[in-house]
Structure 1
Amino acid sequence: MLASLLFSLLYIPTQLSRPINIFNPSKSFIIPKSSKPYPVTFAYLISASRGDTAKLKRTLRALYHPGNSYLIHMDYDAPESEQKEMANFVSSEPVFSKVGNVWIVGKPNLVTYRGPTMLATTLHAMSMLLRIAKWDWFINLSASDYPLVTQDDLIYAFSALPKDLNFIQHSSHLGWKQNKRGKPIIIDPGLHSLNKSEIWWVIKQRTLPTAFKLYTGSAWTILSRSFAEYCIVGWDNLPRTLLLYYTNFVSSPEGYFQTVICNSDDYKNTTLNHDLHYITWDTPPKQHPRSLGLKDYRRMVLSNRPFARKFKQNDHALNKIDRELLKRRHGQFSYGAWCSKSGKRHNNCSDLQSEKYGVLTPGTGSRRLRTLLTKLVSSQNFNKKQCK
């Protein structure tokens, strides 16, 4: 089982034309010669499950930008009708067709909560995006996430950063996770079954490893292209060794990237100990974070973070975020220079202005985010929050 998982990840690039649906544009997007490329770009994996189509459409519109790349993964458990609905949505959107930067995984994976199939899906997406697009950072989100800044804001704020930085929340202080995560052995039926079920628990436990040090943290990360390449086609065996170890690990997405990067001499000093998400938990914490609402709005904005989770479908807080932070109207995209017509201050952001490709119009969100990033990369904080 372990060998088959590793084999499938290693050989994903040779099968790219089949597992991914690429919607051929009816009209090619030609970047004007006068346009400059964007200073940095992002590759997004947006994951969704059964019943998430409405949330997924809204999140994709809020996140969309012609300079970025977007890969959508809908759980294999989602009915065929939902898979087709999303395929029709992507293929029928004129902007997506013109630019050609939104894809859907054509052969989706069965994802088991707390199992390694979620990690396998992330690595699968990274390998696809590395092959089909040029980008600087990889961001994994779910349909329940939502941006708190426009993509113009995000691109502008990140343009001042070294491109080798990795935003990975990490800690070697396992606490209760030592016995609840590090020692149990589990089997994810999603690796070998087409029917979704809970993970299986093995009665016997294992000791903590001595060949490497375990780290834990948030499953939501922003990874540099260099580190993504290391994880997929790394020049030493650490990423593959740890992939085999984490195949039988509870909630492996909360430890794999943390343990890989903090045990790598090449990358351990590139970490910023932050996931750039606004998330709140109950006391004591439950399995899932608390759903956000209007009462959380002020704290979300003051956190200066670019993303928040999780939201219920069409929560009123999303409308407020659209209206006040993203300048996004219903059914349209978030505000950006790429879709702004000259002389129209409050136009609908619904169409691509090709002459504006490469142009940014950052707003207050970029200033909030730059405040946070400046604090994180300051020498006082950066060196203290490296892998310990």
Structure 2
Amino acid sequence: MKPRRRAARLWRLWLLPAIALFLFSLFLRHHRTSSVLNDGARIAYFIQVSAANLPLLNRLLLTIYDPSNFYALHLDLKIDELKALESMRSAYHVLSSRWGVGSERNVPNLLIVRSEIVTYRGATMTMNYLTGANRLLAGGDWDYFINLSGADYPTASQKAIRRLLGKVGKGRNFVEWKPQNTWMGFAEKRFGEFYVDTGLAKLKSSTSEFVDLNGTEVSKQVEGVERTMNPLFRELDFTIAKSSGWFILSREFCEHLRDDSDARKLLALLAFSDASDEHYFASVLWNGGDRWRGSVVNSNMRTIFFVAPNGSFAMGEDGQRSRQHPFWVDEAGEDGVFLFGKHLKKSPGFFTRKVRGDGGFRDWMDREMMEKEYEERLEKRFDQAVMEADRVRRLHQGAAQASEHSDASEDATSI
């Protein structure tokens, strides 16, 4: 056989396996991608646990646990240390017994964030969320971050939640905007007036209040006391947005919060504002250009009640209408029927709050909320929210393109 013919034959012998290997790798890549989409999105949960809702933790963990998800817990520093240790041992035992994962001292996809002071209306609340997100970013590969309190409870199965979030792929952010015409009023009160979270300076205990002209903390309910104004409020050249304090954030956005200098600057700016968690995440998204504003779905997929079926409002300790603390969702009438039960089923979501844990309410939810009819309504609500977000994004893109075209035409005319 001539050398040239032999070389051509050897070349073909090497080429065919290489092509086969390349095609096989494409198949594996497609199969892996399809498997991820079929399995649904992977979720990272950050759960803030207080002394009041510590007894609810085991049931919550057991209900939302999935081996493909990741979980981070923050136990409030005010919780008795022995009670916290007992609770964690119990949680590990329950999960390892039910799911066969880890041991009674460790579950691989469940981590504990170092306990720190959290003032639930101050900047330490926002910082605690960011700590949880950063720990979860370092702990595993997931798609969406969901914040919970120990008093929350799921109104949908993990299978349904993972599947629905998997439908939209990666990179969406589920944040419930408040009406835009209210943002300035919120900003004037919550950022324009100096608000102090002493948890920024103390390690053991903290309070949070507005400050009067003498630098003394003063409750916002005190009438006739002039409060200190924040001078930076007059210097703003961007919008302070307002949303709910509950959200579903994409991994990409959590990485942006960790790495972006403007996001860190905004965090520092809101250090002395009231309820900064209801403004920080929303403001980074709103002022982040088309990439981040266009990623928002205007729903946090929660069902929370500030208005009762009879039209009455949730009231605060000061006797005024509460805008931060909703009704207990497990409230029952004299006949034992849950007052918000029918409304929960008609307003499907991923989670509800606030739950006290007695009276069989969680057992009732586990039965009622897993029905096929409920999940169909849930999917309809989810799809409508996503479609509306896509419609708004297309309108904004069209307006931006029209503006660019108009500017280009004016430039050409002036030339």
The normalised TM-score by structure 1 is 0.76
Alignment partner, residue 191 of structure 1? 200
Map residues 193-232 of structure 1 onto 2, 5 A cutoff: 193-203=202-212, 204-206=228-230, 207-232=233-258
The residue that corresponds to 2:297 in the other structure is: 272
* DSSP 3-state at the match of 1:168: strand
Instruction: Look up the match of 2:322.
Output: 285
Cα deviation for residue 52 of structure 1 reads: 2.1
Pick closer, same or farther for the CA change 1:300–1:375 going to 2, 3 Å.
same
- Give secondary structure in 1 for the equivalent of 2:44: strand
Q: Which residue matches 2:318?
A: none
Q: CA deviation at 1:315?
A: 4.1
- Against the structure 1 CA distance between its residues 180 and 386, is the aligned structure 2 distance closer, same or farther, given a 3 Å change threshold? farther
Q: Which residue of 2 aligns with 1:26?
A: none
Alpha-carbon distance change, 287 to 218 in structure 1, aligned in 2, over 3 angstroms: closer
1:240 aligns with 2:245: no
Note the alpha carbon deviations across 1:13-49, whole angstroms, 9 max, x for none.
xxxxxxxxxxxxxxxxxxxx9x955331100001111
> What code does the residue aligned with 2:275 have?
S
Alignment of 1:83-102 (within 5 A): 83-92=84-93, 93-94=95-96, 95=99, 96-97=101-102, 100-102=108-110
Distance change >3 Å, CA 42–CA 364, structure 1 → 2: farther
Distance (whole Å) between structure 2 residues aligned to residue 134 and residue 315 of structure 1: 38
Secondary structure of the structure 1 residue equivalent to 2:343: helix
Q: Per-residue CA shift, 1:82-109, capped at 9, x if unaligned?
A: 220232123333234176211222x211
1:260 paired to 2:260: no
- Alignment-mate amino acid for residue 119 of structure 2: T
Larger Rg over CA atoms = 2
Partner of residue 22, structure 1: none
Q: Which residue is 1:371 aligned to? A: 380
Amino acid at match of 1:52: N
Q: Distance in 2 between matches of 1:101 and 1:56?
A: 16
The structure in which a higher percent of residues are helix is 2
The 10-residue stretch of structure 1 (266-275 or 86-95) with the greater mean CA deviation from structure 2: 86-95
Q: Residues of 1 paired with 2:172 and 2:252: CA distance?
A: 9
Deviating more after overlay: 191-200 vs 64-73: 191-200
Unaligned 5+ runs, structure 2: 1-31, 213-227, 308-312, 314-320, 331-337, 397-415
Residues 59/326 of structure 1: CA separation in 2 closer, same or farther (3 Å cut): farther
Tell me which residue corresponds to 2:124: 117
Of structures 1 and 2, the one with the larger relative CO (CA 8 A, separation 6+) is 1
Provide closer, same or farther for how the CA distance between residues 380 and 185 of structure 1 changes in structure 2, counting only shifts above 3 A.
closer
Q: Secondary structure at the match of 1:184?
A: coil
Greater shift in the superposed pair: 285-294 or 266-275: 285-294
Deviations 1:145-169 (A, max 9, x none): 1100110111122221131110011
| Percent sequence identity over aligned pairs | 27
Shift of 1:248: 0.7
**Which residue identity is paired with 1:198?**
T
Displacement of 1:261 in angstroms is 0.5
Segments of 5+ residues of structure 1 without an aligned counterpart are 1-32, 328-362
Q: Which amino acid aligns with 1:233?
A: D
Equivalent residues of 1:148, 1:307 under 8 A apart: yes
* Number of matched pairs: 316
Deviations 1:330-373 (A, max 9, x none): xxxxxxxxxxxxxxxxxxxxxxxxxxxxxxxxx55542322111
Range with bigger deviation, 370-379 or 122-131: 370-379
Structure 2 Cα separation of the partners of residues 82 and 288 of structure 1: 26
Q: 1:276 to 1:209 in 2, by over 3 A?
A: farther
From 350, 361, 367, the counterpart of 1:317: 361
| Distance in 2, Cα, partners of 1:255 & 1:57 | 31
The residue type equivalent to 1:316 in the other structure is G
CA distance in 1, matches of 2:43, 2:185: 35
Q: Does 1:147 align with 2:166?
A: no
Q: State the TM-score, normalized to the length of structure 2.
A: 0.71
Q: Secondary structure at the match of 1:313?
A: coil
Cα displacement (A) at 1:208? 4.6
**How many angstroms does 1:310 deviate by?**
0.8
Q: CA RMSD in A?
A: 2.4
Matches within 5 A, 1:107-186: 107-171=114-178, 172=180, 173-174=182-183, 176-186=185-195
Deviations 1:108-145 (A, max 9, x none): 11111211111111000100101111110000000111
Asked if residue 298 in structure 1 is aligned to residue 342 in structure 2, the reply is yes
Which range is displaced more, 123-132 or 82-91? 82-91
